[in-house]
Amino acid sequence: MTQLTITIDNTDTARTTWRYLTQSASEISADIGSSMMDFLTKRLGFPEEYIDSQIKTIFINGKPVDDLYSATIPENARIALGAVAPGVAGMTMCRNSPISALRGAITYENADQPQNIKEGTVTLLLFNAVMEDKGLELLSKGLTVQATKIEHALSDAPESVLTAVLDKTSLSTQKLIEWIQKNPQLKVQLRVKASSE
C-alpha cells in the first residue's frame, strides 16, 4: 500500500484542518472478535479514564453500544466514537443512558457466537470532542484513507504542510495534489505529524 507521511505546522489552523479527516471514514487494524474495550485501549491506545469520562457514544454498524466488555468487533465493522450528542436523541444514544430503554430494539448485540480473535480491518469515524481530542493522535499512528480526502485537507490549508513524503520520495504540496488528482480512489496509509513531534 502507498505510504504517505505529512508533517504539518503546529498551529491551530493546521491541527484543526487535519484532524477533521478522522470525521470521515478511515480504516484501521483491529482484532476481530475482541471486545470494544480492547479495541479502544489496545488498538487505539485510549486510557480507560478517557473512555469512561469522554467517549459517551459508540456505534458498531449504526447500532449504539452499552457494554464495552461484552460487545465484540465483527468483521468489516463500521465504528463511530463521540462524546455526548446534543438533545434527547443524543442522550438516548449514550452508553448506559438512563433512557436507553427507548432504543432497546436498535442497541448493538453480538450477532455471532464467540469466535477466535484474528487480525482484520475496521472502518473508524470520530466525532465532536473525541475527534478534537484524539484525531491527530490517531493520524500520527497511521490510518488508511482515500487519496481524494487528503486533497480536501491540502486544498483547505496548503500552507500547513511542511513536508510530504510519498513512498520515500519528498514532494511539494502542489506535486502531491497533482499525484492525488491522478489517483483519487487509491487507498493511502497516511501518517500526519505536527512539527513539534
Residue whose C-alpha cell is 498551529: 11
pLDDT of residue 100: 67
**110 — pLDDT class (breaks 50, 70, 90):** confident
**What is the C-alpha to C-alpha distance for residues 131 and 108, in angstroms, rounded to an integer?**
22
Q: pLDDT-based confidence at 93, cuts 50/70/90?
A: confident
pTM: 0.90
pLDDT at 196: 75
Residue 66 in this model has a pLDDT that exceeds 60: yes
Per the CB < 8 A criterion, the answer to whether 57 and 81 are in contact is yes
Work out the end-to-end distance of the chain between its first and last CA atoms, rounded to an integer number of angstroms.
24
Q: How many domains does the chain have?
A: 1
Query: What is the C-alpha separation between 33 and 115, in angstroms, rounded?
Result: 6
Query: 128-159: per-residue pLDDT in tens?
Result: 999 999 999 999 999 999 999 999 999 999 99
pLDDT one-digit tens code per residue, 13-25:
999 999 999 999 9
Name the burial class of residue 156, with classes exposed (0-12), middle (13-18) and buried (19+) by CB atoms within 10 angstroms of its CB. middle
Range of the domain at 89: 2-194
95-101: average pLDDT: 71
Pairing of β 187-194 and β 143-146: antiparallel
Q: Which three cell numbers stand for residue 182?
A: 491522478
CB distance 91 to 107 below 8 Å = no
